[in-house]
């Protein structure tokens, strides 16, 4: 008598459901992370182009919005209070961006993703 080998129809449906679950979750989360990487790129660019480490938070946000952020990212999660300039003992002046993003998932279940990025100013010496 020959024994069958392989996956049954019920096993295949279960594997398909699990795979669909992970694909759906990835489809919801990947855009938020792509936005974060865009914002991270914008912060690095502004930190490199900054002429003075004494720039205020409002000036920084304006520079981010005008030069970089508006090109890559359109979200209400980043506001003036989310961008700060702090003094780090090791790195000196640092641009710090911290924000939360709420991502609807299924029915009344949401993901809350916290993003935190710190970039040191790269002030070039005046010649």
Within a domain: residue 72?
Answer: yes
Contacts of 73 (CB under 8 A, 6+ apart): 35, 38, 39, 42
Within a domain: residue 27?
Answer: no
Q: What is the pLDDT of residue 127?
A: 46
Within a domain: residue 71?
Answer: yes
Q: Residue 51: pLDDT above 60?
A: no
| pLDDT, tens digit (0-9, with 9 covering 90-100), for 18-40 | 999 999 999 999 988 988 888 88
Burial profile 64-93: b = 16 or more Cβ within 10 angstroms, e = fewer = beeebbeeebeeeebeeeebebeeeeeeeb
Average pLDDT value for residue range 78-100: 76
Within a domain: residue 18?
Answer: no
Q: How many domains does the chain have?
A: 1
Terminal alpha carbon distance of the chain: 88
Q: What is the pLDDT of residue 27?
A: 95
Burial of 46 per CB tally in 10 Å (0-12, 13-18, 19+): buried
Within a domain: residue 40?
Answer: no
Six-digit token string for 112: 């809350």
Within a domain: residue 11?
Answer: no
Within a domain: residue 22?
Answer: no
Within a domain: residue 97?
Answer: yes
Contact 19, 50 (CB under 8 A): no
Residue 111 structural domain: 45-127
């Amino acid at each position: 008598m020959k024994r069958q080998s392989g996956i049954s129809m019920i096993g295949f449906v279960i594997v398909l459901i699990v795979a669909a679950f992970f694909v759906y979750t990835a489809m919801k989360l990947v855009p938020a992370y792509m936005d974060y990487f865009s914002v991270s790129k914008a912060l690095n660019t502004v930190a490199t182009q900054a002429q003075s480490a004494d720039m205020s938070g409002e000036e920084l946000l304006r520079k981010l919005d005008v030069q970089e952020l508006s090109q890559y990212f359109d979200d209400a999660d980043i506001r003036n209070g989310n961008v700060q300039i702090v003094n780090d003992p090791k790195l000196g002046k640092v641009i710090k961006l911290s924000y939360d993003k709420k991502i609807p998932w299924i029915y009344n279940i949401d993901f809350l993703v916290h993003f935190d990025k710190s970039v040191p100013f790269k002030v070039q010496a005046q010649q």
